[in-house]
Amino acid sequence: MSISRIYTGGCQCGAVRYRAEGTLADPHLCHCRMCQKAAGNYFMPLANAPRASFRITRGEPSWFYSSEVARRGFCAACGTPLFYDMPGADFINIVLGSLDDPYDVRPLKQSGVESRVPWFSHLPGLPGGETDAGNKAGAERHLAILESNRQHPDFDTEHWPPEEET
């Protein structure tokens, strides 16, 4: 199911931000080997945004032409994968993890399943834990990360990084 609205997102450091209005269509997980390499992960979550209502609101992405038909947009400063683009198409694919609210768009199908790692279906059965891992060293590390976090917040800001208070 797709919902028509305004979506915002960007990279981890805040150098590149974007806005898409309308419907994010075809939300899916792509397991193809090219997407695995581009994401540095087992799959890449994508959805199509109408090109006519999509715009970059801060900075400019860098582009890597992964084939003759597609290019991949990413932040040159922090490396965050942001887009899968087929120039000439009436849409651009947004990497769903780069949305300010990634929980907002649920993938409805998978593609490139010929390259899906064979044990992927076993992931839900793995034991899990929270970030601090329930121990003092983990909690201290988590607190140190939170106190020194340089990640852009999950909403648009006037400038980034924030101006230092004097």
Mean pLDDT estimate for the chain = 89
Q: What is the average per-residue pLDDT within 77-99?
A: 96
Residue 84 lies in a domain: yes
CB of 83 closer than 8 Å to CB of 59: no
Residue 24 lies in a domain: yes
20's tokens:
């898409």
CATH for 14: 2.170.150.70
Tell whether the model's pLDDT for residue 126 goes beyond 70: yes
Residue 160 lies in a domain: no
Residue 162 lies in a domain: no
pLDDT score recorded for residue 146: 73
Tell whether the model's pLDDT for residue 46 goes beyond 70: yes
144 — pLDDT class (breaks 50, 70, 90): confident
Our measurement of the distance from residue 14's CA atom to the centroid of its chain's CA atoms, rounded to an integer in Å, reads: 13
The rounded distance, in Å, linking the Cα atoms of 120 and 150 is 32
Please enumerate in sequence order all residues whose Cβ is within 8 A of that of 25, keeping only pairs 6 or more positions apart, or say none.
2, 47, 48, 91
Residue 127 lies in a domain: no
Tell whether the model's pLDDT for residue 65 goes beyond 80: yes
166 — pLDDT class (breaks 50, 70, 90): very low
Between 118 and 142, the more confident residue is 118
Residue 87 lies in a domain: yes
Between 146 and 3, the more confident residue is 146
pLDDT score recorded for residue 4: 64
Q: What is the average per-residue pLDDT within 66-76?
A: 95
Q: Quick: pLDDT tens for 14-41.
A: 999 999 999 899 999 999 999 999 999 9
Tell whether the model's pLDDT for residue 88 goes beyond 50: yes
Structural domain harbouring 17: 4-116
Please give the tally of structural domains in the chain.
1
Residue 149 lies in a domain: no
Tell whether the model's pLDDT for residue 165 goes beyond 60: no
Going by C-alpha positions, the residue among 18, 4, 13 that lies closest to residue 96 is 18
**Which of helix, strand or coil describes residue 72?**
strand
Helices (H), 52-160: 136-147
Q: What is the average per-residue pLDDT within 74-101?
A: 96
